[in-house]
Amino acid sequence: MKEYKRYYPNAPIQGDLVIKFYQSGDQIRGYVRKVAERGADDAIFPGEEMQPAAAFVLADSHQEGGTVWVEMTEGIVWKDEWGTLTY
């Protein structure tokens, strides 16, 4: 199982990836962004919402040695099938 870190503001550093999950109707959707240097805009790819499984695959394929953080908006609960979430 893959290991991911729970997102905290200002914790990710340049090059880390953040998966943000949110509720969209009755589904959990997400997007992936790459943290840029301070003062620059983060890169969001592919720029559209996706299902959790697709978000994890995208983040894992673009990780490049950095950390993958998971940000969950209100109402989203971690599912064990996604991997291990550390604090």
**pTM of the entire predicted model:** 0.91
Six token digits for residue 43: 């890169």
Band (20; pLDDT cuts 50, 70, 90): very high
Six token digits for residue 60: 């894992």
* Structural domains of the chain in order of their starting residue, each with its CATH number: 3-76 (3.10.20)
| pLDDT (average), residues 6-31 | 94
Which amino acid is residue 50, in one-letter code?
M
pLDDT at 51: 94
66 or 16, greater pLDDT: 16
Share of the chain above pLDDT 90, in %: 74
pLDDT at 49: 84
Sign (positive or negative) of CA dihedral 58, 6, 79, 21: negative
pLDDT at 14: 93
- The backbone torsions φ and ψ at residue 7, rounded to the nearest 5 degrees and listed phi first, read -75, 135
